[in-house]
Structure 1
């Protein structure tokens, strides 16, 4: 066969779809069925000239992408596709020059790629080899589609499929994504198709690509304008596309922030009642700040996030299992988290599932299924477990399947229980961090109240808050799963709580109650206690109830809002109103600048005065600065 025939034989319809799109190939196939639609003017071993629907097409052995047509369309047109289909299907049979031999099996793209070694793929990838390894290591469920002479590999969150053609190797693989990331995705697809195993240690060295950060920053600037004044759906689509590329390029934290912003854009487009343009601007600002930080530290796991954890073996230890909680994320991810204390630090473990994975999984079901050495989480909490050879990640996560032995019940007196909320605030601030390096998961803590105030109801957020008071009367407002848990908490109990940052300060959720004898009740998994039917009220029982120290109607102190936090809130509200509002009300910005000067924040005042409503970059930078200022003020008041 000639060079032209070899090239055409590899370009089946699946390969043409990879070059163009399915609709164009389908229309070309339909037009090809018409009589006289295609006529071969000239055909040699190196090129062919074809007339398709009156247009002249010239195709050479150097590939379909370089074919030319005299129609006004740019790129791969229907006439070129028709010419390829016709030439391939009317190729002359190979000549028999000698005795008849066995039929030669058709070429296979999958076999070609499977025959390559990891070193061959590494040589092709070049500087993109670390990224290719990480993409391949994370691609646990790729979609592989084989056709006559091509093979397409679609990796999770990739911008497009990689299509290998028979005889084309890696260099002639087809990829619709950005040219700057072509090599890493082609190499990753080849690693997956060839069944090469990538060690986790090898996947930890890749840096986030500068081109990805450019695309993300550009998408965020455009999303600010589209979301607040233009078309939020356009902003949502673009953010989702960049988020997929970020996830595949080993930047899961940036991907999560972009997806959160995309969900906010979708809510803006639907005019959801609870949508908040200010929150949308804040999410965009945080993602934008992360793109700037990753330029300076593209391989810092605190900024990139973790696709996979390494679990080195640690010395033997005993873990006190404090409680368990089920959770679910807006993305659809869900799981079960068990919190423990190993004598030096809080540790956590538990099963999780990503969005769309394992529809049969439920956190409540996992609560009663074996997790460590045949022990279910329900049996583990409330006990001390000895681990002879524990494995633990850098962020204190323990994996599944560890060998352990239950040695006895919890001893509440041996746990790091906080009774002073000022000391608790300092401890949590140290573990939680600030800014882009702040903890991305809730921080656990053990608390014991001196007194419990009357419950409060947050009707807007739909929450029940129970203020726990320390010896000074300072409140720690704990979110309860329901009102039925109000009577369950007693001053002598130890409460395991999760604390996370929120726009209104730190949010504290109740996870479990630890009785003085070490018994544990998990409030999101175990049934709420049903109070006994009260006896008939008498004058004495009514007076005793009013004087009960457990839930006396004590008024908790309200948190004062300092001037710095008020300034940050007003500035964020102005930015969330959109560029049009900023142009229409310049006095608001002038007032904010004067407040900043009065508080000694002259650099912030200068940034506010210089703000241009048309400069998305400046708006996002100011928004992130105000977010940091608000968080710092809240931490100082905690």
Structure 2
């Protein structure tokens, strides 16, 4: 047996139906298996460089890289059924040969676990220069940065029995490795620039095993400077300036402007300050600091509101935004020192949807909404049992656009081909082919995706597939165990949950806040309030929940809800109910926002008299009432000095008072409030830093239940 044939036999021994389907698709695999019923492929040529198989009138050529790089004489481009048939035939030949020589050697048809570990070692042995050559220098830089930003616990998984399986959650992509070098990594989806994703899989495997990988070479060449406007707002002369140098100068200019605002006093800002914020925002966008550009534009708008004496302007809220932007600049400085650019700090120019294979979803209901920015829309919520994650799909339009009604959209066709309407998704399993998903778990509503919708699932089977929480303390502890930094990237889909109350309390309508409060109790008697703030789109759901006070809610009813902060701790916004006794053929999902309206009762009639649009008003914050008195006093001290400004004599006073504050806070256990140092060389910089720490303490000490 030639060395090529031995290598191919070793690779093909690790192939199973899933691996062959990833190599091509299920349809081609079935056609190849059907063709093999008429006869197997035979070996036509066996040399040291290649192996040629004959299958009917076609010739299939293999080399050491395996079936993923085989060539067939048929007119088909890429993978075809003849290559699959030849590979399966060769696999069967190799399996029969050891059986004839030694029956004991053929007692198992799967490689041992040690063989899978050997596959890992084979990939880990690929040197960085070979990875860079495979994807190119730009592709290697992309893959290295992608892995640095990757959450290994949530975003990457290594498994496999017959072969090595490495899976990413975003994009939803898996690679199978049976041998043959990095070229032998087989993706389960047809993706562009597969080379850089193969390199990313190898680098992620190295990082998961605790192995270091040298950073890529810096991007060569120079870039034209972005608009680098100085304090006099004059255009800088165009010159060659590297992106790193442009970013460094931008961070320095932004830090200086933040400190100057505090030194001048937030009550004494001028039109020049507003123009400088606008200028820096343009510069940040050109330097590809997208998140910083957004914050700078927001600061420019807020200063403009202050100058116009608009009702929405607030010096204290402006200080919050300045402190967060200043902390972001500091984090970007630290990242630049490590020659890194984390995507959650840099930001994205726009939301990117990545193509994925078939996506399996379970419809959990939908709701209509209106945002404070003047948009209305409909959002469908799903559970993905494969990824064990919640996902959503939204259709939104500007509020003044005619012809779009989010309530009517619930029963209109789409958004995907094969789905009659969003209403049909509730309680059903959907196989979505050609799906596109972004990093936040939002599924694109592109019509290019095709949905295969099942009949309504039995209530018991539907509920068994969901991640049900029965203990409120465990639920809130799990929610709060993640990173809660103010600079962390938002993950809104992780706020969704499915809860199983042991007891449902009587719903009550709070007229002061125009919100319905529905107490839910777990087995331990702990209470979690379900709340809905009244508006044109939640009135229907409020009426539905009111009716539940008269009807006995069946035991085992589940509530699909989104967790959020409330006046006295965490509350949940109910979306739908999972009914345990739904008749066969009917959906187990009771969509509170859309299902048949109840009869009008006392509270609903009162609401008609009290009907007012809330337009997304937030509930009153409970943070101030739950923060330690010392931190509240400290925050007032910071706001007072930032609002008044810091002339020379006032700055000296702030420095003296800061020393006393540092001691008081340290004695109370808040040791992070260190006095002025090299990290905060001026009183203004110290105020910004301390205000950010105060905000972070509020975030960490916010009530969870």
**What residue number does 1:409 align with?**
456
Q: 1:211 to 1:531 in 2, by over 3 A?
A: farther
Distance in 1 (CA, whole Å) between partners of 2:491 and 2:276 is 24
Q: Is residue 546 of structure 2 the alignment partner of residue 478 of structure 1?
A: no
Q: Which residue of 2 aligns with 1:601?
A: 670
For residues 528 and 356 of structure 1, do their structure 2 counterparts lie closer, same or farther at Cα, with a shift above 3 Å needed? Answer: closer
- In the aligned structure 2, how far is the partner of 1:630 from the partner of 1:460? 25
Q: Residues of 2 paired with 1:224 and 1:627: CA distance?
A: 17
Q: Are 2:690 and 1:622 aligned?
A: yes
After TM superposition, give the deviation of residue 369 of structure 1 in Å. Answer: 4.5
**Does the C-alpha gap of structure 1 residues 387 and 285 become closer, same or farther in structure 2, counting only changes over 3 Å?**
same
**1:393 equivalent in alignment to 2:438:** yes
- In structure 2, the CA distance between the partners of 1:485 and 1:220, relative to structure 1 (3 Å rule), is farther
Matches within 5 A, 1:293-304: 293-297=331-335, 299-304=341-346
Are residues 292 and 605 of structure 1, via their aligned partners in 2, closer, same or farther at CA, if it must alter by over 3 Å?
closer
TM, length-normalised to structure 2 = 0.50
Q: CA contact under 8 A between 1:446 and 1:497: conserved in structure 2?
A: yes
Distance 2:624 2:561 in 1: 24
- Aligned ranges 1:433-582 → 2 under 5 Å: 433-439=484-490, 441=492, 443-453=495-505, 463-482=515-534, 483-484=542-543, 486-488=545-547, 490=553, 492=555, 493-500=557-564, 506=570, 508-516=572-580, 517=582, 518-520=587-589, 522=591, 526=594, 529-531=597-599, 565-579=628-642
- SS across alignment from 1:625: helix
Q: Match of 2:393? A: 350
1:322 is matched with which residue: 339, 352, 364? 364
Residues 328 and 423 (structure 1 numbering): CA distance in 2 closer, same or farther, change over 3 Å?
A: same
Q: Is the Cα–Cα contact under 8 Å of residues 565 and 629 in structure 1 kept in the other structure?
A: no
User: CA separation of 1:512/1:574 partners in 2, compared to 1, >3 Å: closer, same or farther?
Assistant: farther
Work out whether residues 383 and 390 of structure 2, in 8 Å CA contact, stay in contact via their aligned partners in 1: yes
C-alpha displacement at 1:257, in angstroms?
A: 3.2
Q: 2:326 aligns with which of 278, 284, 288?
A: 288
Summarize deviations over 1:246-292 as a string: whole Å, max 9, x none: 44543333333334445544554555667554333222211221122
1:372 matches 2:410: no
Q: In structure 1, the residue corresponding to 2:450 is in which secondary structure?
A: coil
Q: In 2 relative to 1, CA 228–329 (structure 1 residues): closer, same or farther, beyond 3 Å?
A: farther
Question: Structure 2 matches for 1:116-155, cutoff 5 A?
Answer: none
Q: 1:237, 1:507 → 2: CA distance?
A: 41
Q: Distance in 2 between matches of 1:417 and 1:500?
A: 18
Q: Are the equivalent residues in 2 in contact too, given 1:412–1:514 (CA < 8 A)?
A: yes
Deviation (angstroms), 1:428? 1.8
Secondary structure of the 1:435 match is coil
In structure 1, the residue matched to 2:383 is: 341
Go from structure 1 to structure 2 and tell me whether the alpha carbon gap of 1:320 and 1:440 turns closer, same or farther (over 3 Å shift): closer
User: How much has 1:226 moved relative to structure 2?
Assistant: 6.0
- How many angstroms does 1:463 deviate by? 4.0
Task: Give the drift of 1:514.
Answer: 3.5
What is the CA deviation profile of residues 62-91 of structure 1, one whole-angstrom value per residue up to 9, with x for unaligned ones?
xxxxxxxxxxxxxxxxxxxxxxxxxxxxxx
CA distance in 2, matches of 1:388, 1:444: 24
**1 CA distance for matches of 2:477 and 2:279?**
40
Contact 2:397/2:404 (CA < 8 Å) preserved in 1? no
Q: What's the TM-score once normalised by structure 1's chain length?
A: 0.54
Q: Confirm whether residue 253 of structure 1 aligns to residue 312 of structure 2.
A: no
Instruction: Determine the C-alpha separation between the residues in 1 that align with 2:504 and 2:240.
Output: 58
Determine the structure 2 residue equivalent to 1:46: none
- CA drift at 1:576: 2.7
Equivalent pair of 2:267/2:644 in contact (CA under 8 Å): no
RMSD: 4.9
Distance 1:259 1:387, change over 3 A: same
Q: Could you say if the C-alpha distance between residues 533 and 633 of structure 1 is closer, same or farther in structure 2, counting changes exceeding 3 Å?
A: closer
Q: Secondary structure of the equivalent of 1:415?
A: coil
The alignment covers a number of residue pairs equal to 425
Q: Indicate conservation of the 8 Å contact 1:326/1:363, yes or no.
A: yes
C-alpha displacement of 1:320: 0.8
Q: 2:475 aligns with which of 409, 420, 424?
A: 424
CA distance in 2, matches of 1:379, 1:605: 58
Alignment map for 1:119-268 (pairs within 5 Å): 178=229, 209-224=247-262, 228-231=266-269, 236-247=274-285, 249-266=287-304, 268=306
Q: Distance in 2 between matches of 1:207 and 1:370?
A: 48
State the distance in 2 between where 1:312 and 1:393 align. Answer: 6
Decide whether aligned partners of structure 1 residues 563 and 352 sit closer, same or farther in structure 2, where only a CA change above 3 A counts: closer
8 A contact 1:432–1:438 mirrored in 2 = no
Q: Could you tell me how far 1:444 is from its partner in structure 2? A: 1.5
Q: Which runs of 5+ in 1 are unaligned?
A: 1-129, 131-172, 186-204, 535-558
CA distance in 2, matches of 1:174, 1:582: 34
Alpha carbons of structure 1 residues 407 and 356: separation in structure 2 relative to 1, 3 Å: closer
1:575–1:582 CA contact under 8 A, matched in 2: no
**Counterparts of 1:252 and 1:354 in 2: how far apart (Å)?**
24
Shift of 1:393: 3.5
Deviations 1:42-81 (A, max 9, x none): xxxxxxxxxxxxxxxxxxxxxxxxxxxxxxxxxxxxxxxx
SS at match of 2:453: strand
Aligned equivalents of 1:522 and 1:234: distance in 2? 52
Task: Say if 1:449 and 1:491, in contact at 8 Å, map to a contact too.
Answer: no
Paired with 1:562 and 1:502, the residues of 2 have a C-alpha distance of 12
Task: Tell me the distance in 2 between the aligned counterparts of 1:424 and 1:415.
Answer: 14
